[in-house]
Each structure stands twice: as structure tokens, then as C-alpha cells.
Amino acid sequence: MEGAATYRAVQAVSPGKLELTEKPVIDPPEGHVRIRVEACGVCHSDSATVEGILPIEWPRVPGHEAVGRIDAIGEGVQGWKMGQRVGVGFLGGSCGYCVYCRDGDLVNCTNQGYTGVQHDGGYAEMMIAKSSGLIAVPDDLSSVDAAPLLCAGLTTFSALRNAPARAGDLVAVFGVGGLGHLGVQYARHMGFEVVAIDRGSDRAELSKKLGAHHYIDSSTTDVAKALQARGGAQVVLATASGGKAVAAALGGLRRGGVVISLGATDEPIELSAFELLFKQLGVDGALTGTPEAGDVTLRFSVLSDVAAIVETMPLERAAEAYARMMSGEARFRMVLTMA
């Protein structure tokens, strides 16, 4: 498609409906680059676009785990070069001038759009991206392997990296799925004593292979009591969507411990003020991370051999890949390939 006037993309045209289309190739505006996409992960957060959960201007191309090579560079872009392999995550790029940016908090930039929500994402052979949001992809990482790390990897890595836990502390990962199977690996390589928690015995062997020292079957075991039997967790990373899972994890914390919720849900979290006060427990959330944290996530993944378990499908089967992800059948991340 070198020099072609159009490129293929899969766009959401109405709630729940994805269709393959051709879009015209355009030049990147000031501060942006054009990327020839090689792979794009299919993330549960894509449902915000596909199902119309967030306000969407139809049609919209989803996808915020995109990896490709810079194909054109807009005016004013510095620090990036033609042909360089880059990644684009959920955060579309900070503005640099709002009060949060001025304070160094790039994640909470008030003028930052979400990739695949306010502007077209990576379910496409090409995309336009703001240069301030780009992540550098190491040569040692394939585009398919890098894609899921731009959201699922970055979110779990950043949450654990910034958590109040030190090497040797007990850290539990609640839910060994798309996020959790990466969280277990990162936690092990960060030097924590790792407990994996899921429903059923079928995830026990996988959890141990991923690096967990212990496994708790939440369908047959009282999770809080099991964690307290080991002294209580300093951190519980709750990857499953649901307020009940977060509330249940509180009982397994040691004094001063924290539950970090990664699952996006509107289900309320019921907390005991008594526990919060007398055990000094905390509940936190983690929304992805900065581009620099993305760089570190990918480098750390290479150094530690952390990898997502992925299934690939070609771009034209995006609707099928999305449906497989939403059904929970994917093991564990779906990735679209453009070749």
C-alpha cells in the first residue's frame, strides 16, 4: 500500500456494529505523526467506543494498543524520526499547558483525548497520533507482543511500580485474566511474594507458571482469611471489573495495605469506615500511565521476559476478535495484524 491514496480501517458505525471501510490517507497536522500500523490490541475498554458508552461521533475507529512505524511527521514534532517504531496507548497525548501538565501530571491532562474515542485509533492500517503521547518500542519486542503492553501492561506495571509495597512484601493479584496474567508476572519480577486469586482450580497451574508463589481459589476459599493466614497483603491488585471484588479484597489486607482497582465499572464499592479508620486501609485506582512509564514498561518486559498470552486475527476479522474478547473466551489478549 506504499503511496496508496486510501487505507483499510474497521470503524464503529452504531452501537455494537463494526464494519470494514476504506479511508483517505491524510497528512499529520502540527504536533502529530502518521503511523503505518503493524498490530493493534483489542482491549475491553474498546467497548466504550463500540457500544457507545462514551459520547462518540460516529463513525469512529477504535483501538488504543497500536504499534507501527512513523510514516510522516507534522510540523513542530521533535524527538521522533521517520521509520521509528512507536506505540500509541489509551491517552492521546498531553497538552503541556493545563494546570496538571504544568505540575507534571501528564496522565490527568484536562485537554487530552482518548485514543479511539475522541479520535480514530488503531483498528486500521494507518492512524494519526499526537507526538506527546507516543511510546518508544524496543527492537527486541515484536509489534504483536508490544501491542497489549501499551494498555494492559502499562496499567498493571504502573500500578505495581507506584504501589506502597517493597521487595518481599505479600502482593495479591485478584483475577488472572487479560490484566491479571500480566500483573502476576510483573509482581514476581519486582520481587514481591505473589498470590494469584481466581475462581476455580483451572487457573492454579497457569498462575504458578506465570510466577505466582501461591494460588487461592475464590470459589472454595475465603480469600480474606487465606491472605490473613499469610500475614495479610500489603497490596491487592484488583483486575476484575466489579465493586464487590474490591470490597472483598479489603479483608485480606494487612494494616496500612491498599487495594488498587483496575477494572472500569460503575458498580459502587461498599467500604467499612471502621476498617478504613482502625486498620488504615486504602482504596486506589490506576488509569494507565505516562508515555515515559510506557517506555519503561516495554523495556522492563524485555529485560524480564514478561509477555502477554495473545491470539492474533487479521484486521478484517476485527469484529470477530472484539466479540471473542467481550465474551471472555480470549486467552488472554486479542491482537489484530495488518499485514
Give per-residue pLDDT as tens, 223-250. Answer: 999 999 999 999 999 997 677 777 878 8
Q: What are the tens digits of pLDDT across the range 142-177?
A: 999 999 999 999 999 999 999 999 999 999 999 999
Q: Report the C-alpha gap between 106 and 133 in whole angstroms.
A: 9
Instruction: Find the helix packing angle between 152-161 and 180-189, rounded to 10°.
Output: 40
Alpha-carbon distances, residue 233 vs 168, 189, 260, 279 (angstroms): 11, 17, 12, 13
Q: What are the tens digits of pLDDT across the range 167-218?
A: 999 999 999 999 999 999 999 999 999 999 999 999 999 999 999 999 999 9
The ranges assigned to domains in the chain are 6-150+289-337, 154-285
Give residue 242's pLDDT.
Answer: 72
Q: What is the mean pLDDT of residues 298-306?
A: 98
pLDDT for residue 20 is more than 90: yes
CATH of domain 6-150+289-337: 3.90.180.10
Q: Per residue in 80-95, is it b (16+ CB within 10 Å) or e — as a string?
A: eeeebbbbbbbbbbbb
Supply the mean pLDDT for the chain: 95
How many helical (H) and strand (E) elements, i.e. helices and strands, does the chain have?
11, 15
- Ranges of beta strands (E only) in the chain are 6-14, 17-24, 32-42, 66-73, 85-88, 126-130, 134-136, 170-174, 193-198, 214-217, 233-238, 253-261, 282-285, 310-314, 333-337
* Strands 170-174 and 233-238, bridge-based pairing: parallel
The CATH class of 154-285 is alpha beta
Q: What are the tens digits of pLDDT across the range 119-135?
A: 999 999 999 999 999 99
Give residue 272's pLDDT.
Answer: 83
Between the two ends of the chain, the Cα-to-Cα distance in Å is: 10
Q: What are the tens digits of pLDDT across the range 63-90?
A: 999 999 999 999 999 999 999 999 999 9
Give residue 169's pLDDT.
Answer: 98
Give residue 81's pLDDT.
Answer: 98
Give residue 1's pLDDT.
Answer: 59
For residue 280, the SS3 value is coil
**Per-residue confidence at 43, pLDDT binned at 50, 70, 90?**
very high
Residue that the C-alpha cell 475507529 belongs to:
61
Of 228-237, 275-284, 286-295, 315-324, the least confident: 275-284
Cell of 76: 513542530
Q: What is the mean pLDDT of residues 260-274?
A: 83
Give residue 269's pLDDT.
Answer: 82
